[in-house]
Every structure is written in structure tokens, then in C-alpha cells.
Chain A
Amino acid sequence: MSGRVLVGVKRVIDYAVKIRVKPDKSGVVTDGVKHSMNPFCEIAVEEAVKMKEKKLIKEVVAVSCGPQQAQETIRTALAMGADRGIHVEVTGKDYESLGPLQVSKIMAALAKKEDAQLVILGKQAIDDDCNQTGQMTAALLDWPQGTFASEVSFEGNMLKVVREIDGGLETIKINTPAVVTADLRLNTPRYATLPNIMKAKKKKIANMKPADLGVDLTSRLEVLRVDEPPQRQSGMKVETVDDLVAKLKEAGTI
């Protein structure tokens, strides 16, 4: 076993930013908008770093696909404790159409190249909300998958994963190498401290292109338009509980 964990980190519009649709309906406004690491990716990084601190694994490699700015996201992962980074540069039209299928091809190629024992990803990104990349990476590698994980532990060369499912939890045991995707309760990600941010500046980020990994970025999904969701009309204020119950009865709701 290599003891190496690959963690995917995606740069997305910060979760606290109010999303605005572009007037031409081609997408959402991203220029001049604060970006951060996808919150689920932060959880993935934290889990990998914790494994390293417990000496369960040897090295954490943070990967991001995207334009130059993706390096900032990798730096954040390095400041959280990842050992080195890989920036797979995707720009322009390729970046606009970059989806989970293409990213999973990149992740799978890197997992092989780096001889990773484990790939940890967030369960979904808060921009496209796809929830696909981990499952697809596992498929391309023919590895088992422990998705929506709320607890991960090693049992020899196997992983025990507690998964969040509808209505409760499920426990599975999977062989390694494997792909794990992080759900919210897996851990609470740490803040990068100033000394660690300074240290992260010295860590290495390798740069490569998808073609270096033999990955074709052709996408057969086309976004035709992006719209604002229909707005709900705000209703009325009622003064008392009796009023409320009367109104609900009147409306036939109760």
C-alpha cells in the first residue's frame, strides 16, 4: 500500500454569497464574486489530514482542476495540512463545460499515476449540486465507493464506512484502494492558522494539463439557459394563533 491519499478540492462561489443569474441567462455572475473551497471538499481535506496525523496514511495530495485561481484553493488545502498539490489546468471553453465526467477521468488518471490508496472527495459541489464525481471516479478505476460518509475507519486493508442514507445510517466494508465521498457530519474542518498558511507557501504545486493525463475533455452536455427560480409571493402576517388556525381552516389546509 502506498499510503497516499488524493483529495479533490473545487473552487466555487462562496456559500454565503447571494447567487445572481446573468441577464443574458447564460449562467450565474462569477466575476468579482468571492470564491472559496467547496465546503464538502474542506471536509474531505480534513479527513485526509486527520488520517495522516493518526499515521494511518503517509501523504495527502490535493488536486484541483480549473484556471489559475484553482491554485488558491490548493493553497488552502496545503495550509490545512495537505503535503503537496497538483493543479490540472483547464481554461476557457473547456472550463465552462468541465463537468463531473471529465473531472472523474482526471481524478482516476491521477489516482493511478500517483498510486493512491484512497481518493477522498466531497459528496457534491455547492455550485452544480451534481453529486457524481466520486461515484464516477470509483467506476472508472473499478474501485469500491463509500459515498456520503459520516464515519470512516481502517480495518486492516479495508475501510469501514458509515453512510448517510434516507432515513438513517448504513455501514459498509469496502476493499482498498477505494473512493470515499464526505458528507457533512464526517468532521468539522479546521481553520488554517497563519503559521500554516506561511508554511503552505513553500509546499509544491505541480502543474499539468488534462492531455498530459490522456484525458479528453469533450462534453456532451449543453447548458441551454440558466434562470432565476420562480419567486414566492410573500403572504400575510397574522396576529394570533387563533387567526392562524382560522386562516388555515379557511384555506382548507387543515
Chain B
Amino acid sequence: QSTLVVAEHNNDKLTPITLNAITAASKLGGDVSCLVAGTNCAKVVEQISTVHGVKTILVSQHDSYKGSLPEELTPLILAIQKQFSFTHICAGASAFGKNLLPRVAAKLDVAPVSEIIEIKSPDTFVRTIYAGNALSTVKCNEAVKVLTFRGTSFEPAPTEGGSAASEDVASSSPTGVSEWLEQTLTKSDRPELTSAKVVVSGGRGLKSGDNFKLLYNLADKMNAAVGASRAAVDAGYVPNDMQVGQTGKIVAPELYIAVGISGAIQHLAGMKDSKTIVAINKDPEAPIFQVADYGLVADLFKAVPEMTDALNK
């Protein structure tokens, strides 16, 4: 038994969800190898080389891997699989992993299992269905198991204590059917939403994008990331990459503060694994209070500045 984890990175830095995937891969048993494919990824190889649990790093560099296009990475992974015959091929369930691994699986004629939240055994996994309203335990009888793991369900692997050897693998010939043009990432000095210890989220109750300033002020006091409900995103208050929920990001911070969020099922699916949940809403009947550890029925426009002040003391 052996597992390949496809590393996600930008040639400079390893994306944190890869560490969660490495933990999951270690739980499967057997040796864990990591594939780093990119245009110039020596730095990423160096970062992975000390990650606990990784035995081998397979490195493939070619200009065609720019932008990690699935059309280019799939032939590479297939060639590697032919050579090494892994029993499991996996990645984090991020936009990258979800885009790439089903393509690999189809080429291997196997059914992938996505967004796994728990490993029962090397072939049996738990995943959420219906936006987290039910849990499905799936046994995968495929010869090669192709899996993606939800980042928040597995601890990140320690970045020290490992000593992986790296090995170059030949790059695949470019397919040239797709081209990566550009990326526009939302810039922020605050921590990243999916890895922040504290998240402050706003909903339709904020009434405008400008009013999110109240949340930013509070967030800065707590070194928190700022999120939003789908309602707030749909209303145009904030960009979509701030969306927490089934159709947005899944977060599980130590503390989640939901402000002016009613608590639609789709939102709860994205945050209900948070350790402590605080809800501030003026509607005492809002469903968010059913999942909140601490509920405050209050006008957010008074309560949030008050809380920001209280934290100053």
C-alpha cells in the first residue's frame, strides 16, 4: 500500500491544505509520496522535505505546468501512476484538487471519492452529502482510490521532523489545449479564511458593503478573518471569495462570530464544525441561535462597535 499526495502550490509556497491531505494520507497507512509539479518549484520541494510523514517527493518541472492546468497535470500523474502503482492518489478538496483529481480518476476508469471528512479504513470513508445534512459512509472497491480530503477535517501535518528524499520524474509532453492567463486574488492583511483561528462573518443584516467596516474593525482586534453569508454575497456587499457555506468555503475555526446572519442551512453547512459559535442577531427566532454556543439578541450596529471597544479594554 502506498499513497501519492498531489501538492498544491504556487511555485513559491506550499498551499496549507496539502498538509491536511498529508495527514489524511498518513492515516491510510503505507508510504506517502508527494508530487510537486510546477515551473520552478525548488522552494516548495524544500518546504515539503521536512514535513512529517512524507517519504519521497516526486518533482517534475516544465513550463507547461504553469497555472496547474488539469489538462497538463493529468498525463503526468497517469505516467507516474504507471511507474509507481500507488494504491491511493489524493489531494486536498480545494478548487485545485477538485478540478484535477476527477479528471485523473476518469482516465483510470475509477470513481473518485471527494471531500472526505473521516477515514474509517483504507477503503471506507465518510463524506457529507446534502450540504452536510447527512453523512454518507462509502466503501470504495476500486483498484486505485482517488480521493480528496476536506482540509478542516484533518490536522495539518507538522512541518518539522520529516526527511523526505526527492526524485526527479520526467515531464509529460504538453497537450496545449488550454492556457492559463491570469489570477486575481483578493488581497488582505487579515488571516486567510479557511485557516484563521477566529472568523467574523456578516450577513444580510449588515445592510451594505460599507457596513462591513464594523466587522473589519472587530476582526482586526482579534486577528480574525472576515467572511460572509451567501445572502450578503448575492446582495453584492462583498466578493464571493468571502462566502462561507456549502457553496463557498468550509471553515472550522476556534471561534466563529456570526453577525446579522439568519443561519440558512447552506450557511450552517460551512461553519457548524467551528469550536465555539457566537451569534449576534436582532431576530430572536433566527435559526443561527440553534447552533450558537453564545447568542446575543441585539442590534448589530450597536453591539459590534461595543464589542470592539470592550476588546480594547
A235→B292 CA distance, assembly (Å): 6
Q: Interface 1/0s, chain B 165-208, versus A by CB < 8 A?
A: 00000000000011111111110000010100010000000000
In the complex, whether A225 has a CB less than 8 A from a CB of chain B is: yes
A243→B137 CA distance, assembly (Å): 41
B306 contacts across to A, CB distance below 8 A? 241
In the complex, whether A198 has a CB less than 8 A from a CB of chain B is: no
A129→B266 CA distance, assembly (Å): 12
Known: A227-B134, A242-B310, A248-B278. A168 touches B186 (CB 8 A): yes
Chain B contact patch, size range: 35 or more
**Residue among B110, B111, B132 facing the most chain A CB atoms (10 A cut-off):** B111
Q: Give chain A nearest CB distance to B175 CB in angstroms.
A: 8
In the complex, whether A114 has a CB less than 8 A from a CB of chain B is: no
Establish whether residues A136 and B103, one from each chain, have CB atoms under 8 Å apart when the complex forms: yes
A21 contacts across to B, CB distance below 8 A? 134
Establish whether residues B179 and A223, one from each chain, have CB atoms under 8 Å apart when the complex forms: no
In the complex, whether A73 has a CB less than 8 A from a CB of chain B is: no
A175 contacts across to B, CB distance below 8 A? 177-178
In the complex, whether A28 has a CB less than 8 A from a CB of chain B is: yes
A232→B186 CA distance, assembly (Å): 33
Q: Interface 1/0s, chain B 205-224, versus A by CB < 8 A?
A: 00000000000000000100
Segment 114-165 of A: residues with Cβ below 8 Å from B: 126-133, 135-140, 143-145, 147-148, 150, 160, 163-165
Nearest A residue (CB) for B274: A232
Nearest A residue (CB) for B298: A241
In the complex, whether A2 has a CB less than 8 A from a CB of chain B is: no
Nearest A residue (CB) for B239: A168
Q: Interface 1/0s, chain A 237-253, versus B by CB < 8 A?
A: 11111111101100101
In the complex, whether B231 has a CB less than 8 A from a CB of chain A is: no
Known: A139-B107, A221-B139, A221-B140. A132 touches B112 (CB 8 A): yes
Establish whether residues A172 and B128, one from each chain, have CB atoms under 8 Å apart when the complex forms: no
Establish whether residues B180 and A245, one from each chain, have CB atoms under 8 Å apart when the complex forms: no
State the total of A-B contacts with C-beta under 8 angstroms: 234
- Residues of A whose CB lies within 8 Å of any CB of B are 13, 15, 18-19, 21, 28, 99-101, 104, 126-133, 135-140, 143-145, 147-148, 150, 160, 163-175, 184-185, 219-229, 232, 234-245, 247-248, 251, 253-254
Give which listed residue, B96, B110, B181, contacts A171 with CB less than 8 A. B181
Given A136-B103, A145-B70, 5 other A-B contacts at CB below 8 A? A132-B105, A226-B135, A227-B137, A232-B291, A244-B278
Establish whether residues A185 and B141, one from each chain, have CB atoms under 8 Å apart when the complex forms: no
Establish whether residues B103 and A138, one from each chain, have CB atoms under 8 Å apart when the complex forms: yes
Q: Give chain B nearest CB distance to A26 CB in angstroms.
A: 11
In the complex, whether B119 has a CB less than 8 A from a CB of chain A is: no
Q: Give chain A nearest CB distance to B307 CB in angstroms.
A: 5
- Residues of B whose CB lies within 8 Å of any CB of A are 67, 69-71, 74, 94-96, 98-107, 109-115, 124, 127-142, 177-186, 192, 194, 198, 222, 240-241, 246-247, 249, 254-255, 265-266, 272, 275-278, 289-298, 303, 306-307, 310-311
A254 contacts across to B, CB distance below 8 A? 198, 222, 255, 311
B138 contacts across to A, CB distance below 8 A? 221-224
Establish whether residues A168 and B295, one from each chain, have CB atoms under 8 Å apart when the complex forms: no
Nearest A residue (CB) for B307: A241
Establish whether residues A166 and B94, one from each chain, have CB atoms under 8 Å apart when the complex forms: yes
Q: Give chain B nearest CB distance to A117 CB in angstroms.
A: 14
Q: Give chain A nearest CB distance to B102 CB in angstroms.
A: 4
Q: Is the interface of A mostly helix, strand, loop or mixed?
A: mixed
B289 contacts across to A, CB distance below 8 A? 234, 237
Establish whether residues B136 and A226, one from each chain, have CB atoms under 8 Å apart when the complex forms: yes
Give which listed residue, B110, B179, B198, contacts A173 with CB less than 8 A. B179
A229→B291 CA distance, assembly (Å): 13
A19 contacts across to B, CB distance below 8 A? 130, 133-134
A166→B296 CA distance, assembly (Å): 32
Establish whether residues B179 and A172, one from each chain, have CB atoms under 8 Å apart when the complex forms: yes
Known: A235-B293, A238-B295. A171 touches B135 (CB 8 A): no
Q: Give chain B nearest CB distance to A136 CB in angstroms.
A: 4
B180 contacts across to A, CB distance below 8 A? 170-172
Establish whether residues B297 and A237, one from each chain, have CB atoms under 8 Å apart when the complex forms: yes
Establish whether residues B95 and A221, one from each chain, have CB atoms under 8 Å apart when the complex forms: no
Establish whether residues B183 and A165, one from each chain, have CB atoms under 8 Å apart when the complex forms: yes
Known: A226-B129, A235-B294. A148 touches B99 (CB 8 A): yes
Establish whether residues A101 and B111, one from each chain, have CB atoms under 8 Å apart when the complex forms: yes
**Residue among A100, A126, A130 facing the most chain B CB atoms (10 A cut-off):** A130
A248→B254 CA distance, assembly (Å): 11
A228 contacts across to B, CB distance below 8 A? 134-135
B142 contacts across to A, CB distance below 8 A? 220-221
30 contacts between A and B (CB under 8 A): A28-B134, A100-B112, A101-B110, A127-B129, A127-B130, A129-B129, A131-B114, A135-B103, A138-B103, A147-B99, A148-B95, A165-B96, A170-B180, A170-B184, A175-B177, A222-B138, A222-B139, A223-B139, A226-B136, A226-B137, A227-B134, A227-B137, A229-B134, A241-B296, A241-B307, A241-B310, A242-B310, A244-B278, A248-B294, A254-B311
